[in-house]
Amino acid sequence: MDYIAKPFQIEEVLARIRYQFQAHQNRHRLQLENARLQRENADQRHSLTQIDHSYQLLSQVFNCLADGIAAFKAIRNPQGEIEDFQWLMGNSALVDWLGRSPTELAGITLSELLLDHPNDDMLDLFIRVVEQHEALQYELLCEPDGRIPLWFELMASRLGDGLVARLKNITEYKQVVTRLQTMISDLQVLTTQDGLTQVANRRTFDRYFQMEWQRLARMREPLSLIMADIDQFKRFNDLCGHVVGDQCLRSVAQALAEVVKRPADMVARYGGEEFAILLPHTHLQGALQVASQIQARVKALRLAVQHRECEQVRLSLGVASQIPNRQGCVETLLTQADQALYQAKRQGGNQICLGTVDPEAEISFQPRYEEALAEEEE
């Protein structure tokens, strides 16, 4: 309300009216602006509340993760080169694994952290992540004093002028992998070895025989085969029983393995009481030497049995040698050795017979088996 003294002038009245009108408009604008600011303030408070809730939720998620997570900032020298990394933040899992409080970790450098867990590669790997934008995946083995060794998988990627790293405990996974590898190794042994005698089985021998035949055919090198059979083994089993018979087979197989020492050679149980000895890079003279050594070694065996006639084991052997060719097949050499073995059995056993000799596998002028073995051992 504005008062005008009498008498009044029309100009004054109009000025007063304009003033009142403008004041009213200004008050109205101020009220609108104040309402707008209040709404904005309310919206901001609501947004801040939502941000706070989101932060709390993210913090809970961050700290509930089983994997350890941490962020690091690069520390650069005046030349711009990264010298170290500074800890920015980390979740509860990682803090627990490191065995330090959040206060102790605040601002700590990577080099200081590695004092407890030395790893010369870690700093270089982190630098490559930041400078070369390389994603990192790395397995770490931690061996705490007096505690079970722990395996971790470390993954890192660039984040600004720093990186974020994830540390995952893969100890159980590594233990499972180790058990699986052991099982696979055991299965491989079961599929390649004879369960009773622990030498190669027939399947492994056949595969290796074929492989060596093809290899030596390309090299034009000799391949020798010895077939060995325990004499009168059926009578041995009948008199002493199958348990003692099995022990006899194991003893003979061990004796063969002790004579046949070169890595490329193979001793295999061919079937029943019959064994096969494959000798790559061995001419007939060397194969005869091995056969003689085998016979002497088996003859020296003395089994603890009730029947004296079964104490000494006797062995018949058939020996054959050939330089393989690509047109031929392994059955040729196998037949030669088999025929020689059957000849030894027909002649009363406990002897060595030769199969049909390949003309290219002459006995003369060939290195002795013992000399070849000495050369391989050197």
How far apart (Å, rounded) are the C-alpha atoms in residues 139 and 73?
22
- Which range among 56-60, 106-110, 257-261, 343-347 shows the weakest confidence by mean pLDDT? 56-60
What's the mean pLDDT when you consider all of the chain?
A: 86
Nearest CA among 304, 232, 331 for reference residue 273: 232
Q: Please say if the pLDDT value at position 373 is more than 70.
A: no
Q: What is the pLDDT of residue 366?
A: 43
Q: What pLDDT band is residue 156 in, cutting at 50, 70 and 90?
A: very high
Give pLDDT tens digits for 296-319.
999 888 776 666 666 678 899 999
- Reported as type and span, the H/E element at residue 122 is helix 122-131
Residue 208, C-beta contacts closer than 8 angstroms, at least 6 positions apart:
200, 266, 278
| % of the chain beyond a pLDDT of 90 | 49
Q: What is the pLDDT of residue 288?
A: 95
Cis peptide before 7 (omega within 30 of 0): yes
Residue 295, C-beta contacts closer than 8 angstroms, at least 6 positions apart:
315, 317, 350, 352
- Do 169 and 66 touch, CB atoms closer than 8 A? yes
Q: What pLDDT band is residue 285 in, cutting at 50, 70 and 90?
A: very high
Tally Cβ neighbours within 10 Å of residue 249.
22
Q: What is the pLDDT of residue 16?
A: 77
Give pLDDT tens digits for 208-217.
999 999 999 9
Give pLDDT tens digits for 125-153.
999 999 999 899 988 888 766 667 889 89
Average pLDDT over residues 170-175: 90
Nearest CA among 163, 372, 364, 341 for reference residue 262: 372
> Length of the chain, please?
378
Q: Is the pTM of this model over 0.85?
A: no
Average pLDDT over residues 181-196: 86
* Block residue for tokens 């000494």: 312
Q: What pLDDT band is residue 69 in, cutting at 50, 70 and 90?
A: very high
Q: What pLDDT band is residue 365 in, cutting at 50, 70 and 90?
A: very low
Average pLDDT over residues 86-98: 89
| % of the chain beyond a pLDDT of 70 | 87
Task: Give just the sign of the alpha carbon dihedral 9, 12, 18, 19.
Answer: negative
| 3-state SS class at 378 | coil
For residue 357, give Cα distances in angstroms to 327, 353, 363: 18, 11, 9
How far apart (Å, rounded) are the C-alpha atoms in residues 316 and 350?
5
Which residues are identified as catalytic? Answer: 273
Q: What is the pLDDT of residue 306?
A: 63
DSSP 312: B
How far apart (Å, rounded) are the C-alpha atoms in residues 236 and 311?
10
**Token representation of residue 359:** 């003309």
